[in-house]
Amino acid sequence: MYYVLSHALTRRFIGELRRFWSYHPRYRDDLVDNIQGKYSFEERPQHGIIVKTSGGSMIKMAADNFIGTIHSHAYLSKVERYPGMFIEWTREDAVAIQNNGGRFPSPPGVYYIEITAYNENDSTGEFYLDRLITVRDESVSLVGNQEGTLQHKPLNGTVSLYETPSGIRLHNFTVDPNSNAVTLIKPLENGMGLSADYRYPADSLGPIPFKSMRANNTAIPGVVLAFGRQVEVGDRLAVVVTNRREPAYQEFGGRWQINMDFDIISRDVHTQREIIDRTMTYVFGTLRPRLSSEGIEIMDLSFGGEVEEVYDETGDDYYYNANFSVTLETEWSIHVPLGPMMRSVSPISSEDMMKAEADPDNAPNESLTMRSLGISRSLDPFIPGRNATYEVIK
């Protein structure tokens, strides 16, 4: 799921206001550090802005909140016996696809990601990428009518051979485990050829650096990997890449209506008025269209007035406070995985193949694709995001 509520909104507005006031030569030194989410100052500051949420309600868009089915070249899949929680979501990199002439830049296959190092102090780490590349409809180089050679050394149990041009799948063949040679038990008829589907392990990549709450779009070209906070050394996850877009997730979503309060405090009444005027103008005039593209709509802004607070009764000194509130709508969505869409493989030996030829009724079941590759169907929803830093709430 993806939802922008109290923590994400507060952090976003604090960051935007700090960035805005950091360019002001008069207030950058004593105001920027005092823009916070609570009154947690070690000493009472000269100026400050407190950002906090005051409430909210859900806006239902439909009875079941169903939006649609997401088709993608890439989707996440769990690796057996591993939680796989360090990547929040994945999606296609539209810029990389456009730069590659509209074609997906990475070959199809299963990309296994393993966290090898992580530093909680600065939220940085490293991971390795093991690639199991999928080959479809490869023309087999034949030596006579009974032997052929594949372009890569296949993973054991992943080879499927088809007679061309008839397209009949063949079961009577063996694969040399020490090379990329295939041998047919029955020779082909004259004029016939072979095509092969298989998977082969490519070179591992790494160590690749990453940072929590940031995305990586270079490890797997064409795929955006958004890393979250649930990072643990040794955890693994798989990204399945297909050669064409397939149904990957069902998306459910809606909107939240959130109310936020902004308290401005200052020792000088004129400074307090200048800060609140410039802040309100910036939020509604400049920040509003910028946040709109991220699904955060500022609907209304209201000024709450000014009050005085005694700072020093003896010296007749006061704090001058002002308040304004913002009503906004934010989006939420949840991606429910549909599970891997993968063709079956034959995780059996050549002896089992010959026995199956002699006794087809007792042929082994070929529905072991997911387990043979070490991945399992994920039933947990993944978190999509829209903004530049991929902010999420945990």
Domain extent listing, the chain: 2-62+253-335
Neighbours of 223 (CB within 10 A): 25
2-62+253-335: CATH homologous superfamily? Phage minor tail protein U (3.30.70.1700)
Q: For residue range 314-365, list pLDDT tens digits in order.
A: 545 567 888 999 999 988 888 888 865 444 334 445 455 556 555 655 554 4
**Token duo for residue 54:** 């005051």
**Token duo for residue 217:** 């779009």
Burial 312-321, CB ≥16 within 10 A → b, else e: eeeeeebbbb
Cα 144 to the center of its chain, rounded Å = 49
Measured between alpha carbons, how far is 260 from 209 in angstroms, rounded to an integer?
A: 36
Measured between alpha carbons, how far is 106 from 222 in angstroms, rounded to an integer?
A: 6
> Confidence band (pLDDT; 50, 70, 90) for 119?
very high
Which of 93-97, 123-127, 311-315 shows the lowest per-residue confidence on average (mean pLDDT)?
Answer: 311-315
**Is the Cβ–Cβ distance between 257 and 326 less than 8 Å?**
no
Q: Which residue has the higher pLDDT, 171 or 127?
A: 127
How much is the pTM? 0.70
What is the rounded end-to-end Cα distance, in angstroms, of the chain? 10
Mean pLDDT across the chain = 81
Measured between alpha carbons, how far is 39 from 309 in angstroms, rounded to an integer?
A: 15
Q: What percent of the chain has pLDDT over 70?
A: 81
Q: Assess whether pLDDT exceeds 70 at residue 198.
A: yes
Q: Which residue has the higher pLDDT, 387 or 213?
A: 213
Neighbours of 279 (CB within 10 A): 20
Q: Assess whether pLDDT exceeds 80 at residue 72.
A: yes
pLDDT at 375: 59
Neighbours of 149 (CB within 10 A): 13
pLDDT at 340: 53
The mean pLDDT of 102-119, rounded to a whole number, is 93
Which of 22-31, 101-110, 384-393 shows the lowest per-residue confidence on average (mean pLDDT)?
Answer: 384-393
Q: Assess whether pLDDT exceeds 80 at residue 379.
A: no
Q: Is the dihedral of CA 241, 246, 249, 252 positive or negative?
A: positive
Neighbours of 172 (CB within 10 A): 14
pLDDT at 343: 43
Neighbours of 300 (CB within 10 A): 10
